[in-house]
Amino acid sequence: MTRTTADERQADVIVVGAGPAGSGTAYHLANAGADVLLLEKAVFPRDKICGDGLTPRAVRQLVNMGFDLDEPGWQRNLGLRIVGAGHRLELPWPELASFPPYGMVRTRMDLDEVLARHAEKAGARLHERTAVTGPVVDERTGRVVGVTAKPVDDRGRRTGGEIIYRAPVVVAADGVSSRMAVSLGLERRENRPMAVAVRAYYETPRHDDPWMESWLELWDGKPGHSNLLPGYGWIFGVGDGTANVGLGILNTSKAFQHVDYKEILRRWLANTPAEWGFRDENMVGRIGSAALPMGFNRKPHYTRGVLLVGDSGGMVNPFNGEGIDYALESGETAAHTILQALARPDEAGRERVLEGYAAALDSAYGGYFTLGRVFAKMIGNPTFMKQATRYGLPRETLMKFMLKLMANLTDPRGGDVSDRIINGLSKVAPAA
Same-domain check for residues 213 and 330: no
Is 344 domain-assigned? yes
Same-domain check for residues 266 and 352 = no
Q: What is the pLDDT of residue 159?
A: 85
Cis bond before residue 45 (omega within 30° of 0): yes
Q: Would residue 90 count as lying in a domain?
A: no
Residue 3 inside a domain? The answer is no
Asked whether residue 157 is assigned to any structural domain, the reply reads yes
pLDDT class of 166 with cuts at 50, 70, 90: very high
Pair 169, 200 in one domain: no
Stated as kind and residue range, the H or E segment containing 101 is none
Q: What is the DSSP string of 153-176?
A: -TTS-B-S--EEEE-SEEEE--TT
Q: Which residues pair with 14 in a beta bridge?
A: 37, 170
State how many domains the chain has.
3
Q: Are both 148 and 172 inside the same structural domain?
A: yes
Does residue 383 or residue 368 have the better pLDDT?
368
- State whether 213 and 282 are in the same domain: yes
Residue 366 lies inside a defined structural domain of this protein: yes
Contact 320, 218 (CB under 8 A): no
pLDDT of residue 222: 62
Q: Check whether residue 414 and residue 269 sit in a common domain.
A: no
Judge whether residue 228 has pLDDT over 90.
no
Model confidence over 298-337: pLDDT tens digits?
A: 999 999 999 999 999 999 999 999 999 999 999 999 999 9
Question: pTM here?
Answer: 0.95
Evaluate whether residue 243 is within a structural domain. yes
Same domain, 44 and 165: yes
Looking at the chain, the whole-number percentage of residues with pLDDT higher than 90 is 83
> Mind listing the pLDDT tens digit for each residue in 237-253?
999 999 999 999 999 88
Are residues 199 and 271 both part of a single domain? yes
Q: Do the domain assignments include residue 264?
A: yes
Say if residue 205 is in the same domain as residue 329.
Answer: no
Lowest-confidence segment of 254-268, 284-298, 351-365 by average pLDDT: 254-268
Per-residue confidence at 225, pLDDT binned at 50, 70, 90?
Answer: low
- Judge if 275 and 230 occupy the same domain: yes
Q: Do 209 and 242 share a domain, yes or no? A: yes
For residues 91 and 79, give the distance between their C-alpha atoms in angstroms, rounded to a whole number: 6
Q: Is residue 248 a part of any domain in this protein?
A: yes
Q: Is the pLDDT of residue 273 over 60?
A: yes
pLDDT tens, 81-140?
Answer: 999 988 999 999 999 999 999 999 999 999 999 999 999 999 999 999 999 999 999 999
- Mean pLDDT computed over 285-302: 95
Residue 249: give the domain boundaries: 194-293
Question: Can you give the length of the chain in residues?
Answer: 432
Measuring CA to CA, which residue among 41, 44, 35 is closest to residue 123? 35
Q: Are residues 326 and 422 in the same domain?
A: no
Per-residue pLDDT band for 3 (boundaries 50, 70, 90) equals very low
Lowest mean pLDDT among 88-102, 305-319, 349-363, 366-380: 366-380
Position 382 confidence tier, pLDDT thresholds 50, 70, 90: confident
Helix (H) or strand (E) holding 380: none
CA-to-CA dists, residue 201 to 63, 250, 283, 360, angstroms: 27, 22, 6, 37
| pLDDT tens per residue across span 26-78 | 999 999 999 999 999 999 999 999 999 999 999 999 999 999 999 999 999 99
pLDDT exceeds 60 at position 224:
no
Summary mean pLDDT of the chain: 93
Confidence (pLDDT) at 1: 42
